[in-house]
């Protein structure tokens, strides 16, 4: 479970994140939806402890990111915004590197790695060097190495960005698998359809603030739009009304 | 397995597959110095020897006005060439290095016992002028001196009358110390090798990794940034150490191809020399790795880091040049200054002196202290949230 309370972060004069609060529960998929530049990536970076918030706090399974960064990291599996692989290493070696950094034993690392390779359908390229991987293969490898320590909480920053239709469908199925395993899945996206299809809960962010935090159905009900896309546009467009 | 060790092993293994990095560490970096050294010394020496032994051939205007002088020069290895019309133009156009002109007044002045004028046209700003002009002047002066002595004898005076002071030279240089002067550039090559050997790696492991966007996922692992830094520094040190080792072994080999006897010098670059150089350079290897990583972590891109590090390489060049130009008397405290201590120590070893245990200790201790400070600063930068994030 990830709890976010009143998170704030400024870069110079720009208030990138301006009081964001929400909760992502175990066994649910929580979608962080917002236009580009809304503050999604910055919010996530504070969750996975790469950035320190100016104010507010983040609790991962009850542990504060401010008090024990390393303990929080052990409980998180993260596909960050930057997802570069080591091009001279094979997919398997890329995964093993992170497994070792997590301090996994060789046996555990191997078991977990092979399970992820099967789950993500990576077998046909697992022993090829990452140089020349397709976008889909790169994302799969990046996810596999992020989840090699079997984390309870999974954060994915725009996981379907740049993927083709087939790869996107597989990615969505994979996220549903993670939910079925009882994990807390939090992902960001600017694709409305994707969020509508997958999420148990949608957190809409615009200009660094949370403008809606509902289930998809409630969101449709409240905006009076049967189409979630219309609902989304309405929320972003009528921000003043919502705040009141 | 310890996280630093994991990072270290992975970086070494991955970079062994990077052809440019490996070539630079085992070939270009360490071998350019010895090769350049060997070729330069050989070319310079053989040219100087050739010039000193070859007959000196220069145009002479008015040779018939001073047949005795010309004959005396001829006996010393001078070959007068046909006269030219305009000596100034000839020298300017670089058709001849110098032109000797004997004016009309030479004969009259000679007969009356006045100083007889000869004119030497040359351009001292040209590189190849020095030696022939000095040689010709020496020949003329020797003739002048001899004739003067004979005139004194003819007047019943002792020739020593015109030499009230006699300089007796007592040169204290030894074949080895002369080698030290000639090869004062050598310590710089060792320093340069350390800079070059680890440079690509330092750029790649920080600025490159960030540019390829793998820094962010790496830093999300539950590992303190300083542990990651330590692993990376270790990998850089392995590469620069290999460079240094290859360089230190290549120099003695290159030295075999230098005509030391012809130069009247002695070089002793045996195993003891190699070993002492390696020990002296050890703190510098760590210091340079830390410094390069620090610079790379401030750079926004791979290219920027490369530019900064190339500029950084000029620091030892500057020091080397200063040490060559300024006559510095070695003081004990200088061994405590990293880079300076190494330069002095290697020079001392080269001229056959020995570096005392205290000097070696000072050099190592202060070097490692500065290196540790450098690593502490770099670790702080590694801890900042901006480091991992690209663009």
The partner residues of A16 in beta bridges, in order of sequence, read none
pLDDT at B265 over 70: yes
Residues 359-388 of B with CB under 8 A from A: 385, 388
Considering only CB atoms, B17 lies closest to which of A78, A88, A145, namely A88
Q: Is residue B291 in a domain?
A: yes
In chain A, the residue whose alpha carbon lies closest to the alpha carbon of B214 is: A84
Is the per-residue pLDDT at B1 higher than 60?
no
pTM to 2 decimals? 0.83
Is residue A21 packed enough to be buried (19+ CB in 10 Å), middle (13-18) or exposed (0-12)? middle
Residues B74-97, mean pLDDT to the nearest whole number:
90
Q: Does B330 touch chain A (CB under 8 A)?
A: no
Residues B267, B151 within the same domain: no
Domains contained in chain B, number: 2
pLDDT computed for residue A241 by the predictor: 30
Judgement on whether residues B41 and B61 belong to the same structural domain of the protein: no
Q: How far B343 CA sits from the closest chain A CA (Å)?
A: 38
User: Which of B332, A213, A215, B346 shows the shortest CA–CA distance to A235?
Assistant: A213
Mean pLDDT of B340-358: 84
Does residue B146 lie in a domain region?
Answer: yes
Same domain for B258 and B109: no
Q: Is residue B50 part of a domain?
A: no
Residue that finishes a domain, picked among B163, B190, B209: B163
- Specify the residue for token string 């195993």: B271
Instruction: Say what the pLDDT of residue B391 is.
Output: 53
**B302 in any annotated domain:** yes
Q: Which of B215, B223, B385 sits opposite A101 (nearest CB)?
A: B223
Using a pLDDT cut of 90, give the percent of chain B over it: 42
C-alpha to C-alpha distances, A144 to B60, B83, B235, B281, nearest whole angstrom: 87, 88, 26, 43
Closest alpha carbon within chain B to A51: B385
Pair B200, B117 in one domain: no
Residue B223 has pLDDT above 60, yes or no: yes
In a domain, B170, yes or no: no
pLDDT value of position B18: 85
Considering the domain architecture, whether residues B279 and B360 belong to the same structural domain is answered as: yes
Interface of A with B in 192-231 (CB under 8 A): none
Sort residue A33 into left (φ over 0), alpha (ψ -120 to 50) or beta: beta
Same domain, B146 and B226: no
Whether residue B7 lies within 8 A of chain A, CB to CB, comes out as yes
Q: What is the pLDDT of residue B280?
A: 92
Q: Are residues B126 and B194 in the same domain?
A: no
A150 touches chain B (CB under 8 A): no
Residues of A in Cβ contact (< 8 Å) with B220: 48-50, 73, 76, 78, 80, 146
> Which residues on A lie below 8 Å from B214 (Cβ)?
82, 84-86
Report the pLDDT averaged over residues B264-290: 89
CA of A136 vs chain B CAs: smallest distance (Å): 16
- Out of A209-213, B264-268, B300-304, B366-370, the most confident range is B366-370
Confidence band for B390, pLDDT divided at 50, 70 and 90:
low
Query: What does the pLDDT read at residue A231?
Result: 76
Cβ contact (<8 Å) for A103 and B212?
no
Q: What is the pLDDT of residue B241?
A: 94
Domains of chain A are: 2-75+153-243 (3.40.50.300), 85-150 (no CATH)
Instruction: Compute the average pLDDT of residues B282-290.
Output: 95
Mean pLDDT of chain B: 88
Together in a domain, B154 and B123: yes
Token output for A24: 């992502």
Residues B152, B191: one domain?
A: no
Last residue of a domain, one of B163, B198, B225: B163
B221–chain A Cβ distance below 8 A for any pair = yes
pLDDT above 70 (res B99): yes
A142 touches chain B (CB under 8 A): yes
Decide which of B114, B130, B163 is a domain's last residue: B163
Asked if residue B226 and residue B277 are part of one domain, the reply reads: yes
In a domain, B217, yes or no: yes
pLDDT at B323 over 60: yes
Probe site for chain B from A9, A41, A82 (most B CB atoms < 10 A): A82
pLDDT of residue A239: 44
Instruction: Return the pLDDT at A243.
Output: 27
Q: A84–B214: do the CB atoms touch at under 8 Å?
A: yes
B171 occurs within a structural domain: no
Same domain, B197 and B221: yes
pLDDT reading at B290 higher than 80: yes
Evaluate whether residue B75 is within a structural domain.
Answer: yes
Stretches in chain A below the pLDDT threshold 50:
238-244
pLDDT, tens digit (0-9, with 9 covering 90-100), for B187-199: 888 888 999 888 8
Looking up residue B64, the CATH number of its domain turns out to be 3.40.1710.10
Residues B132-184 pLDDT 10s: 899 999 999 999 999 989 999 999 888 888 888 888 888 888 877 777 777 77
Q: Which domain holds residue B258?
A: 3-45+176-383
B30-61 pLDDT, tens digit per residue, is 888 888 888 888 887 787 777 777 888 999 99
Three-state SS string across chain A, please? CEEEEEEEEEECCEEEEEEEEEEECCCCEEEEECCCCCCHHHHHHHHCCCCCCCEEEEEECCEECCCCHHHHHHCEEEECCCCCCCCCCEHHHHHHHHHHHCCCCHHHHHHHHHHHHHHCCCHHHCCCECCCCCHHHHHHHHHHHHCCCCCCEEEEECCCCCCCHHHHHHHHHHHHHHHHCCCEEEEEECCHHHHHHHCCEEEEEECCEEEEEECHHHHHHHHCCCCHHHHHHHHHHCHHHHHC
Shared-domain flag, residues B280 and B239: yes
């Amino acid at each position: 479970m990830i709890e976010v309370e009143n998170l704030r972060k400024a870069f110079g004069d720009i208030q990138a994140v301006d009081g964001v609060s929400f909760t992502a529960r175990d066994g649910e998929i929580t979608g962080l939806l917002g236009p580009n530049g809304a503050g999604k990536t910055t919010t996530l970076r504070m969750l996975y402890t790469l950035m320190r918030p100016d104010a507010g706090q983040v609790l991962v399974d009850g542990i504060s990111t401010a008090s024990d960064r390393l303990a929080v990291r052990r409980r998180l599996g993260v596909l960050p915004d930057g997802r570069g692989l080591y091009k001279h290493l094979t997919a398997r070696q890329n995964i093993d590197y992170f497994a070792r950094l997590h301090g996994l034993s060789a046996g555990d690392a191997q078991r977990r790695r092979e399970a992820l390779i099967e789950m993500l359908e990576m077998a046909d390229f697992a022993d090829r060097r990452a140089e020349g991987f397709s976008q889909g293969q790169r994302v799969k490898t990046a996810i596999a190495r992020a989840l090699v320590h079997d984390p309870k909480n999974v954060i994915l920053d725009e996981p379907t960005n740049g993927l083709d239709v087939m790869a996107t469908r597989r990615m969505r199925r994979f996220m549903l698998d993670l939910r079925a395993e009882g994990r807390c899945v939090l992902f960001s996206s600017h694709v409305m359809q994707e969020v509508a299809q997958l999420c148990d809960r949608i957190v809409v962010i615009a200009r660094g603030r949370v403008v809606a935090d509902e289930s998809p159905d409630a969101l449709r009900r409240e905006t009076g739009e049967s189409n979630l896309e219309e609902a989304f546009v309405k929320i972003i467009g009528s921000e003043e009304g919502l705040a009141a | 397995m310890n996280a630093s060790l994991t990072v270290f092993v992975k970086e070494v293994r991955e970079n062994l597959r990077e052809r440019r990095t490996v070539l630079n560490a085992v070939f270009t970096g360490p071998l350019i110095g010895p090769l350049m050294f060997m070729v330069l010394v050989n070319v310079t020496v053989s040219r100087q020897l050739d010039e000193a032994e070859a007959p000196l051939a220069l145009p002479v205007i008015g040779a018939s006005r001073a047949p005795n002088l010309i004959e005396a020069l001829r006996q010393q290895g001078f070959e007068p060439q046909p006269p030219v019309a305009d000596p100034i133009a000839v020298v300017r156009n670089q058709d001849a290095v110098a032109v000797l002109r004997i004016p009309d007044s030479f004969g009259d002045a000679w007969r009356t016992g006045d100083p007889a004028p000869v004119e030497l046209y040359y351009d001292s700003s040209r590189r190849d002028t020095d030696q022939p002009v000095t040689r010709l002047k020496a020949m003329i002066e020797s003739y002048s001196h001899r004739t003067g002595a004979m005139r004194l004898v003819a007047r019943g005076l002792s020739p020593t009358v015109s030499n009230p002071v006699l300089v007796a030279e007592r040169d204290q240089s030894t074949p080895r110390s002369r080698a030290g002067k000639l090869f004062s550039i050598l310590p710089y090559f060792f320093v340069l090798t350390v800079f070059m050997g680890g440079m690509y790696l330092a750029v790649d492991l920080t600025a490159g990794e960030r540019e390829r966007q793998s820094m962010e996922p790496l830093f999300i692992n539950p590992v303190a940034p300083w542990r990651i830094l330590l692993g990376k520094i270790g990998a850089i040190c392995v590469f620069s150490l290999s460079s240094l080792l290859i360089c230190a072994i290549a120099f003695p080999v290159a030295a075999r191809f230098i005509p030391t006897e012809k130069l009247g010098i002695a070089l002793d670059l045996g195993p003891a020399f190699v070993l002492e150089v390696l020990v002296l350079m050890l703190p510098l290897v760590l210091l340079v790795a830390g410094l390069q990583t620090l610079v790379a972590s401030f750079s926004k891109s791979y290219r920027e880091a490369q530019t900064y590090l190339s500029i950084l390489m000029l620091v030892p060049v500057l020091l080397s040049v200063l040490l060559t130009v300024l006559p510095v008397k070695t003081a004990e405290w200088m061994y405590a200054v990293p880079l300076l201590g190494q330069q002095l120590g290697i020079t001392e070893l080269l001229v056959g002196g020995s570096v005392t245990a205290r000097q070696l200790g000072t050099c190592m201790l202060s070097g490692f202290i500065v290196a540790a400070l450098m690593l502490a600063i770099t670790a702080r930068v590694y801890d900042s949230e901006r480091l991992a994030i690209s663009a």
